Structure 1
Amino acid sequence: MLPTVDVVLPCLDEAEGLAWLLPRLPDHMHAVVVDNGSRDGSAEIARAHGATVVLAERRGYGAACAAGLEAATADVVAFCDADASLDPQDLPRVTGPVLAGRADLALGRRRPERGAWPWHLQLANAELARRVRRRTGIRVRDVGPMRAARREPLLALDLRDRRSGYPLETLVAAAEAHWVVTEVDVPYRRRRGRSKVTGTPRGAWQAVQDMSKVLAS
């Protein structure tokens, strides 16, 4: 029997995605939905599916991730978007290397279906990944939202970014801590609902700016 894994799901108006995603969680995984100010009943849907719901008053992807990590209780914690672009059935591919002790941090490299990932966002992500490789030496090809690590060591990294730079800061801090980092392929699908961050030109620009600040620090 596999150990329980807590899955942190940052959430801002993701009722449709959560309704599809939560029933698909593997049996040994428990959802920690971090509500970042939803007005569409996301928290109610999460509770109805047995998830732990955490309210994060401070807006921002990193703020939601940090709140979920604090609320988690399992030894291994995974992170996943709540918009149904990533299938929780694929989470064992990411958590497996951590549970087996082969990696300290495992990342899901997004392999998009047609139309799921706009070309300009793919280019921006590729450039960020290149800069991460140059900065850290980690052979990473995607700075994506699906990842897993053990909770206590992750807390000890003392991540400070509370906006879109959180995933990238995780990589930089992991490299500085000499973690073993691995990357596995996961399918990437069209999201359900409209993105509040990278789905808008302003949001995409802000995300790149947040990540660039992390690399410049």
Structure 2
Amino acid sequence: MDHVDVVLPCLDEAAALPGVLAALPAGYRAIVVDNGSTDGSPEIAAAHGATVVHEPRRGYGAAVHTGLERAGTEIVCFLDADGSLDPGELPELVAPVAGGLARLAVGRRVPVGRGVWPWHARAGNLVLATILRRRGLHVSDIAPMRAARRVDLLELGVRDRAFGYPLELLLRAAAARWPVVELDVAYRPRTAGTRSKVSGSVRGTLRAVRDMAGVLR
């Protein structure tokens, strides 16, 4: 692929953005979707060459969908902006999509050290992955790092605009019988000064589970 747009939903990730953007492979172009940051994240992203889009509606799904709409490449990637995932691994996810082996490629997080993935977040992820496997999609992670063709994602019609977005995406992919490839990706400690909006606290995890339960209903 000559170019691939990478959507990075962003809420107060000023400390992590320089490193994340610098690590993007050649030809991978960042679209940072700012979701109401107060720490200067949009200005830092722009200074490091990213296209910055502002999404006033709070929610992971709102930011991701706005970035998808703004993307202009055939294949689009999605990546957390907190430094926990390595942008250098994105081409490995793009390859099966570009080669026609998958409609969706997702990253299965493999922690690189103790304490990277708190127990409450792992437990919630396990429950949701079990539900997905029962519905015919054999994945073990709810995929914060993924790649797919832009037109496919738009046609899939994911509606959730909060933390339920990743689960709804996978449920709809399963219902549509998409071939999905899951590949191991390193899951590292977040950049100092950042905090996960989901796994950083029990409260955040419960909020995400609530949103995802709404998707299941």
TM bin, normalised by shorter chain, reads over 0.9
Counterpart in 2 of 1:203?
204
1:183 Cα deviation after fit:
0.2
Distance 2:198 2:166 in 1: 14
Counterpart in 1 of 2:120?
120
1:212 Cα deviation after fit:
1.7
Q: Deviations over 1:25-58 (max 9, x none)?
A: 0001000000000011111111111111110000
* Residue aligned with 1:16, SS: coil
Distance 2:106 2:198 in 1: 21
Question: 2:117 touches 2:199 (CA, 8 Å); kept in 1?
Answer: no
Counterpart in 1 of 2:69?
70
Unaligned runs of 5+ in 2: none
Distance 2:140 2:197 in 1: 24
1:202 Cα deviation after fit:
1.7
* Residue aligned with 2:16, SS: helix
1:197 Cα deviation after fit:
3.0
Distance 2:158 2:197 in 1: 23
Question: 1:80 touches 1:146 (CA, 8 Å); kept in 2?
Answer: yes
1:86 Cα deviation after fit:
0.2
**Cα RMSD over matched residues?**
1.0
Matches within 5 A, 1:25-36: 25-36=24-35
Paired AA for residue 133 in structure 2: R
TM-score by length of 1: 0.96
TM-score by length of 2: 0.96
Q: Deviations over 1:126-151 (max 9, x none)?
A: 1110011112x011010120011000
User: Does residue 1:88 correspond to 2:87, yes or no?
Assistant: yes
Paired AA for residue 122 in structure 1: R
* Residue aligned with 1:95, SS: helix
1:200 Cα deviation after fit:
2.2
Distance 1:197 1:130 in 2: 19
| Structure 1 stretches of at least 4 aligned residues deviating more than 4 Å after TM superposition | none
Aligned length, in residue pairs: 214
Distance 2:25 2:18 in 1: 15
